[in-house]
Amino acid sequence: MLPVRLLRAGLLIGLLLAAAVAGAADWAHWRGPQRNDRVSEDSGWAAGAWPPKDPLWTGSFGLGSSAPLVVGGRLYALGWQKDREVVSCVEAATGKALWQTDYPAPRYGRFAIGDQGFYTGSSATPEYDAATRYLFTLGIDGDLNCWDTRAKGRRV
């Protein structure tokens, strides 16, 4: 059985995707377009249409607490799997994998002191720069990386 954290992450991704594909603005930063946890679209809450009954798709991008980004019809996610941090890019509308890259990383940061039951894998949300189309990630152990989204995630 999947841990509750993974199930919640899958549900969150499904809900974000439903909003993203329905014409919502790009979600290129942590906390949204204006970094304030707000979007201009109607959530459907008052009409009883929230949460959506059927998400478009669900997926797993590994362990962690990182939030996904939705930019230009693509979803970017950072997670931890099998001793590696994994950066994934999928079509937001379908969940179809476009590219994936990874690098060695511990499951817990090297200075974890008794908080291993609370933190697992990546926790920093990636950052997208529209001018360069670079994706920046900060890993569990402090690895700051830059990825070229036009070159299938090639490290810059």
Total structural domains within the chain: 1
| Strand order through the sheet with 144-148 | 127-129, 134-138, 144-148, 154-155
d(CA 122, CA 104): 12
Query: What is residue 38's predicted lDDT score, i.e. its pLDDT?
Result: 79
Contact (Cβ atoms closer than 8 angstroms) between residue 91 and residue 98: yes
Q: Mean pLDDT, to the nearest integer, of 58-73? A: 91
What's the domain range around 121?
Answer: 4-155
DSSP structure string for 17-39: HHHHHTTPPPB-STTTTTTSS--
Query: What is residue 112's predicted lDDT score, i.e. its pLDDT?
Result: 66
Out of 47-51, 90-94, 149-153, which region has the weakest mean confidence (pLDDT)? 47-51
Contact (Cβ atoms closer than 8 angstroms) between residue 103 and residue 59: no
Question: What's this model's pTM, rounded to 2 decimal places?
Answer: 0.77
Over its C-alpha atoms, the chain yields an Rg (Å, rounded) of: 16
Tell me the pLDDT tens digit for each residue of 5-52: 544 444 455 445 444 444 567 888 887 878 888 777 787 888 888 887
User: Quick one: what percent of the chain has pLDDT higher than 70?
Assistant: 79
